[in-house]
Amino acid sequence: MPASSYRDLRAWQVAIEVAELVYRYTKDFPKYEVYGLASQMQRAAVSLPSNIAEGHARDSTREYLHHISMALGSLAELETQLCLARRLEYLTLNTSDCIDNKVEELGRTLRGLQKSLKGKLQSL
């Protein structure tokens, strides 16, 4: 049964959790990073659920796939930024593990959604 709202999608729900974690953890970054790495991470994190929602609202499966692809790109961007934040010691090991687990879950969920949508396209 297809999701009637983007809010029903597991991918969107996990993406919201990732965005919330990013906002919570970046608030403790050094003040000089407010417009630097913290801001970049927040923008990447917000684009995750936003692209999932926008894709779900589009009229075609092809457009939906495009937005899922954009979300996967933002996820790769965020993973890179998280790596840098860890190397700069802006994130504790505990914090890093927590967000890494959610990011990995989101990646699996997005790839599963992408595979499902591609299958739907091929069956048309």
Query: Which structural domains are found in the chain, ordered by start?
Result: 6-122 (1.20.1440.60)
- On whether the pTM is more than 0.85, the answer is yes
Rounded average pLDDT per 10-residue block, the chain, 124 residues: 82 98 96 95 98 96 97 98 96 92 98 96 84
CA distances from 114 to 41, 47, 70, 78 (A): 23, 17, 11, 19
Q: What is the pLDDT of residue 1?
A: 45
Q: CA angle, 115 as apex, 112 and 71 as ends, to 5°? A: 65
Cα–Cα distance between 109 and 17 in angstroms, integer? 13
Give the pLDDT confidence score for residue 4 in this predicted structure. Answer: 85
Predicted local confidence at residue 87, as pLDDT:
95
Distance CA(47)–CA(78), nearest Å, equals 10
